Amino acid sequence: PAARHWWKEASIYQIYPASFYDSNGDGIGDIAGIEAKLDYLQTLGVDVVWLFYTSPQVDMGYDIANYRAIHKPYGTLDDVDRLIAGLHQRQMKLVMDLVVNHTSDQHEWFKQSRSSRNSPMRDWYIWRKPVFANDGTRHPPNNWASIFGGNAWEYDEATEEYYLHLFCTEQPDLNWENPAVVAAVHDIMTFWLDRGVDGFRMDVINLISKVPGLPNAPVTLPSAVFQPAHDLYANGPRLHEFLRGLRAVLDRYNAFAVGEMPWAKTTDEVVKSVAEDRRELNMVFQFDIVDMDMGVGGKFAPREWTLQTLKGIVQKWQTVMQAQGGWNTLFLENHDQSRSVSRFTPHRPAHRSVAAKMLATFIGLQSGTLFIYQGQELGMQNLPMEWPIEEYLDVETQNFYKELASKYAGDKARLQQLLDQVALKARDHARSPVQWTGEANAGFTTGTPWMRVNDDYRECNAQRQVTDAGSVFAFWRRLLQLRRQHLDVFVYGRFEMVDMSHPAVVCYRRISTTSSATATVVANFTDNDERWAVPPELWSTLSRAKVVLTNASTGLPLEVHVQPDHTVLLKPF
Ligand code: TEU
Ligand code: CA
């Protein structure tokens, strides 16, 4: 059985500071706002809070200009110290985002590096000479596309070379092949760990080692000039060496790390990064579930998914981690994903609450460390379909829209299809202000919110839900309690998928390895009544089972198990 650790048992709540709670009326959430809501978080029952820092905000804080200061509108280092004290007083912990694949182009390091080809810091970033074609035209060193659209290389007129930026132009990639960069990152970690931070969420950590020589990517999008190059810049040959270096710093503080790992090539690669005996990361975010509905053309390309696809992903990761001594994270939302009720269940306002509870149960009782994104505990949903594109402020959405609006200018139907994908998947859906009350601006700010508040705040807000025993909030609270009370089942127990093939129903079991306790989760993902035949091996267990958590408003769905035909009638969701 897996070794016990606090970071496996914790439930982690992600805060997106700009949209959490504004304490001073400037329309932007801040650290003092987080402090003001610590009791709310404690009531919910989470153990760890994750947030981040200083930057010109081209990519909302993922372009860092100073690793040792806080973005001014969020507050100061003193505010952080107070927040850490407030959390620790409540036996809660703090996780910081560590964004070290790239910096902002406003970081001193980059300013130095770009100042001249002979700069002592030139080699801190990835600079390459242009390629000149026979006709004399200048081209970037390879054909890589940026993750946020266009070319991954930016030409610097002054020094006549290109630098690599996998994300925005303003986010130059650091050169991890340079030991000085590695040492600088270790120093940043020490700086925050000394302040009392308990761990890090490491942004795109598997991109820090790239394939040597940075070769051209194969042409997979023939109509595009620049090609997706994930296989060349993700999980490069030195990744595990770098991860072990980061872990050595963490180990001096008993701190932990969750690595974000998009585009990992194989399951094995991911497991290697978290297998306990390898001493690399404690856990990773892998993207199989949240990439399930993305087509070949990228994030905004549509792709149909089925419940069997989802079950296959769950089954694969739950089994592989358990078999190979790795550790999972469990998440359906974060600041880069749209709202799970709108995305993974049939989107109908009348079903919002019951669907949110179903998803909570589905994800929240699996094995792994559970992450909840702000607003998910309230069942917040996507922005309304009819909102115009101007309300979407995220750089990814904006870049994408600019590119496509011109490309499909003559084709209204095609353009509409793309806008529908934005309405379904844009990162903006997760970034609208948290809905605290039914008052103006959902009680998020007394000023003008930096981003428009979702129209549904009068029905969906924390004030209503905290006191309502039937709310999504109350449901999450009970679920987190249950998880904590039965660690041997829900955190350390074995996972078994019961029904891989039913198109509408998920059923899995959790089985303690230290006692006779077991739990069975049954969920209907559709908004129809569904009949599900209980497998014979579960007849006796389920007829004796006690229902401990249900989102059914009338009756308890599991009571139906004792009916003679051993069929469960599952109400919508
Ligand atoms: O995200 C990495 C990542 O893989 C995203 O580009 C993801 O593909 C995209 O957001 C999907 O829409 C991290 C951060 O979470 C994200 O907010 C940053 O923009 C990105 O890194 C760059 O730092
Ligand atoms: Ca503020």
Encoded tokens for 503: 């198109």
Per-residue model confidence as pLDDT tens digits over 219-233: 999 989 999 999 999
In a domain, 171, yes or no: no
Structural domain count, the chain: 3
Domain that holds residue 119: 108-164
In a domain, 30, yes or no: yes
Looking at the CA of 206, which ligand is closest? 1
Per-residue model confidence as pLDDT tens digits over 24-61: 999 999 999 999 999 999 999 888 777 666 567 777 78
Same domain, 152 and 189: no
Ligand 1 atom closest to residue 395's alpha carbon, by position in its atom list: 19
Encoded tokens for 484: 């904590």
Rounded to whole angstroms, the Cα distance separating 380 from 464 reads: 13
Rounded to whole angstroms, the Cα distance separating 551 from 522 reads: 11
In a domain, 206, yes or no: yes
Same domain, 470 and 561: no
Rounded to whole angstroms, the Cα distance separating 546 from 560 reads: 12
Same domain, 380 and 247: yes
In this predicted structure, what is the pLDDT of residue 539?
A: 80
Task: Give the distance (Å) from ligand 2 centre to CA of residue 433.
Answer: 12
Rounded to whole angstroms, the Cα distance separating 226 from 554 reads: 55
Q: How confident is the model at residue 564 (pLDDT cuts 50, 70, 90)?
A: very low
Whether residue 429 has its Cβ less than 6 Å from ligand 1: no
Looking at the CA of 422, which ligand is closest? 1
Whether residue 58 has its Cβ less than 6 Å from ligand 1: no
203 is catalytic: yes
In this predicted structure, what is the pLDDT of residue 373?
A: 96
In a domain, 405, yes or no: no
pTM reported for the whole predicted model: 0.94
**Domain with 554 in it: what CATH number?**
2.60.40
Task: Give the distance (Å) from ligand 1 centre to CA of residue 296.
Answer: 18
Question: 10 Å Cβ neighbour count for 554?
Answer: 6
Rounded to whole angstroms, the Cα distance separating 14 from 336 reads: 12
Same domain, 499 and 566: yes
Q: How confident is the model at residue 535 (pLDDT cuts 50, 70, 90)?
A: confident
Ligand 1 atom 18: residue of nearest CA: 62
260 is catalytic: yes
Same domain, 184 and 75: yes
Same domain, 84 and 115: no
Q: Out of 141-145, 342-346, 354-358, 551-555, pick the least confident.
A: 551-555
ipTM of the complex: 0.95
Task: Find the mean pLDDT for residues 124-150.
Answer: 96
State which H helix or E strand residue 267 sits in: helix 267-274
In a domain, 1, yes or no: no
Same domain, 498 and 537: yes
In a domain, 396, yes or no: no
Last residue in a domain, options 116, 134, 164: 164
Ligand 1 atom closest to residue 101's alpha carbon, by position in its atom list: 23
Cα separations (Å) of 452 from 71, 319, 379, 435, 441? 21, 42, 18, 11, 8
DSSP state of 453: P
Q: Which of 246, 261, 115 is nearest to 192 (CA)?
A: 246
Q: From the centroid of its chain, how far is CA 460? A: 22
Whether residue 154 has its Cβ less than 6 Å from ligand 1: no
DSSP H stretches of helix in 90-153: 108-115
Task: Find the mean pLDDT for residues 251-258.
Answer: 95
Residue 502 makes CB contacts below 8 A (sequence gap 6+) with 307, 530, 532
Ligand 1 atom closest to residue 425's alpha carbon, by position in its atom list: 12
Name the burial class of residue 225, with classes exposed (0-12), middle (13-18) and buried (19+) by CB atoms within 10 angstroms of its CB.
exposed
Same domain, 118 and 79: no
Same domain, 453 and 556: no
In a domain, 380, yes or no: yes
Looking at the CA of 16, which ligand is closest? 1
In this predicted structure, what is the pLDDT of residue 568?
A: 56
In a domain, 245, yes or no: yes
Give the mutation target among 98, 99, 203, 235 for probing the ligand 1 site: most ligand atoms within 8 A of CB: 203
**Domain with 10 in it: what CATH number?**
3.20.20.80
Q: Out of 58-67, 334-343, 535-544, pick the least confident.
A: 535-544
In this predicted structure, what is the pLDDT of residue 149?
A: 87
Same domain, 59 and 13: yes
Task: Give the distance (Å) from ligand 1 centre to CA of residue 466.
Answer: 32
The better pLDDT of the pair 266, 56 is held by: 266
Same domain, 316 and 210: yes
In this predicted structure, what is the pLDDT of residue 567?
A: 53
Task: Find the mean pLDDT for residues 164-188.
Answer: 97
Task: Give the distance (Å) from ligand 2 centre to CA of residue 177.
Answer: 39
Rounded to whole angstroms, the Cα distance separating 563 from 534 reads: 11
| Sequence-separated contacts (24+) of 507-514 with Cβ below 8 Å | 507/532, 508/314, 508/366, 510/365, 510/366, 510/367, 512/486, 512/488, 513/1, 513/488, 514/1, 514/488
Same domain, 52 and 129: no
